[in-house]
Amino acid sequence: MSENLESVVKTICEGFSNEKSRMMDIVREVQENFGGVSDDAMDLIAKQVQTPRVEVESVVSFYAFLSKEQHGNVVISLCDDIIDRMFGFERIKGVFNEALGIDVGETTEDGSITLETAPCIGMCDQAPAVMVNNEIFTEVSGDTVTEIVEQLRDGVAPERLRRRLGDGNNSNPLVSAAVSNNIRKEDEVIFAPLTCGNALKKAIAMSPNEVIRDIKTARLRGRGGAGFPTGMKWDFTRGAQGEKKFVICNADEGEPGTFKDRVILTERPQLLIEGMVIAGYAIGAEEGIIYLRGEYNYLRPYLEDTLQKARNSNMLGTNVMGKEGFNFDIRIQMGAGAYVCGEETALISSCEGLRGDPKNRPPFPAQKGYLGYPTSVNNVETFCCVARILDQGAGWFSQIGSKGSTGTKLLSISGDCRRPGVYEVPFGIKMTEVLEMAGGEGAAAVQVGGPSGQMIGPDDFERTICYDDLATGGALMIFGPKRDLLEVVEYFMEFFIEESCGYCTPCRVGNVLLKQRLQKIMEGKGEPSDLAYLEDLGNSVKSTSRCGLGQTSANPILSTLKNFRPLYEALVKEDQPFQPTFDIQKALGVAKGIAGRSSMHFAE
């Protein structure tokens, strides 16, 4: 065991007061310093924070960004989501393979560069995208790949790789990212000009209960997708017994096809912070946490700076804005690559330094959340709406949108359209209008709400986007008539299998079985009874899974069976009720390899 490892691990742990609940930060730093969290490192961490060693391994083995194996100093992650696959993922992967001489999952011989894939990194409107350590590259071409590899070979550090900078704050020196905002439509809630501090001033002039009343009057509902009334959530949290309370911002946007929170974090973090402070005042919390997905680490310095500026202007700190006795501050908790952490109780587990397993409910986070204290978890966009409601009035807000769905919604639009990007639209807008705005007329299908949502076809394009009809966290993926929709479904199932935490049986096992049967059908080996099998199994997974991930993971199959049934029916052979699915040669493969000859009875 090297002395260096020992002293660095010790320093890192001490930096977080040897606090077990900061395990995420500890293992992330060890990973950054040594390219992995080795067995030796895990032993040292366990000793230092006085926790069983297996607890450390439990965390390290859960998150995609953490590894026991040593990675190169440079880790290249190719964004492998369905949109990137449509826009050249395979091509650029091939160029990387050739230029580096390694395949995905491998490290170059000199140990310097590791090549990996990552599920959606939130850049679908500028696919294909690649992460090189924390640096993002978008609309990557074969030439860009060659250039990246050449520079890395020359010893250029990832943060110094040549690239153009994006628009807006993407060019801010603290961000300096080659990312585009692609804001295509601004409306009056999120993208209206900033008026820092007004909302908070108005809030602290009222009582906390009056603030909650305003949020209820505005009929604000959660923007993450579930649509729970925000005022009610705050009321429960405020009313719950607890020495301390917490406000958590869910900035883990991991739903493939969603990237609107990235744009808010780039262009309107002040609004988000103001909304969080108001939430703290309303529920009686003194601490807030922004849970930021690991993929958005490049935004962290800018967000830390924005928090510092808020402290300097007393929007954070003690006696906030002169309000005697109201103290509030915010820290950033980095995620490490786990979609399930977007589920609020899994997110809380992760903040507590644990595996990102969802928790049993009840108790709900409003009663017992972060470290057992009453906690309100809200989406980035929700907090922004809160600040505007306090500034402009609940009446103003409730006039926007439709009756059951007030305000505006940010849509993340990607896929087969001429103008992919972020659109702020009032709730109640029709899908046809959205497609026209985005230049996606002639779409064969739209995936509404990401893989966990539903796939709809032209028959449903007259429907409206709102909580009572097409409910969505904002992701719309557009598929043109030439796309193979079953390939899309297959990708979504792969995604859920990869991202399941594995806690409960139906999600851990059922999704694998669903994908197997789907593939059997796609290979042309389907039987008529397979469709009923998929429906029955899909409904079992949906009904018995423990959290939102499992309860929605069968949706890609169930919603396409409902809306695109002819695609399946064309593949199953009605006239041949028995399809051979057993491949004798494949089954004999291992035995043939050992024997060194082929079978006498089953000639190839």
Partner 1 sequence: MSENTITFEIDGVEVQGTAGQTIMQAADVAGIYIPRLCAFDGLEPFGSCRVCTVKVNGRFQSACTQPIAEGIIVENDSEELLELRRNLVDMLFVEGNHFCMFCEKSGNCELQALAYRLGIAAPKYPYMFPADRNVDATHKDVFIDHNRCILCARCVRASRDLDGKNVFQFVGRGPQKRIAVNSRARLVDTDLNVTDKAVEVCPVGAILTKHVGYSIPVGKRKYDHTPIGADIEANKK
- What residues line the site for partner 1 (CB under 8 A)? 39, 43, 52-55, 57-58, 61-62, 338, 355, 360-362, 497-506, 508-510, 512-513, 516, 536-537, 540, 543-546
Amino acid in the structure at residue 147? E
Residue 257 to residue 84: CA distance in whole angstroms: 10
**135 phi and psi, to 5 degrees?**
-90, 135
Written as one string, the DSSP assignment of 88-105 is: THHHHHHHHHHHHT--TT
Residue (2 or 50) nearer to partner 1, CB: 50
Residue (236 or 396) nearer to partner 1, CB: 236
Contact 414, 408 (CB under 8 A): no
Q: For 23-112, where are the E strands, in sequence order? A: 74-79
Question: Quick one: which of 111, 427, 381 has its CA closest to 267?
Answer: 381
Contact 183, 421 (CB under 8 A): yes
What are the residues facing 107 on neighbouring strands?
Answer: 114
Residue 282 to residue 330: CA distance in whole angstroms: 15
Q: Shortest Cβ distance from residue 43 to partner 1 (Å)?
A: 8
The 10 Å Cβ neighbour count of residue 562 is 13
Name the one residue in this structure whose structure tokens are 């500026």: 309
Q: List the end-to-end C-alpha distance of the chain, in Å, as a whole number.
A: 53
Triad 154, 158, 163: Cα angle to 5°: 95
The contacts of residue 440 (CB under 8 Å, 6+ apart) are 413, 415, 416, 417, 418, 434, 446, 478
Helix (H), strand (E) at residue 548:
helix 548-553
Residue (416 or 499) nearer to partner 1, CB: 499
The contacts of residue 158 (CB under 8 Å, 6+ apart) are 74, 132, 133, 134, 135, 152
Amino acid in the structure at residue 531? L
Question: Quick one: which of 278, 275, 265, 277 has its CA closest to 306?
Answer: 265
The contacts of residue 157 (CB under 8 Å, 6+ apart) are none
419: three-class secondary structure by DSSP: coil
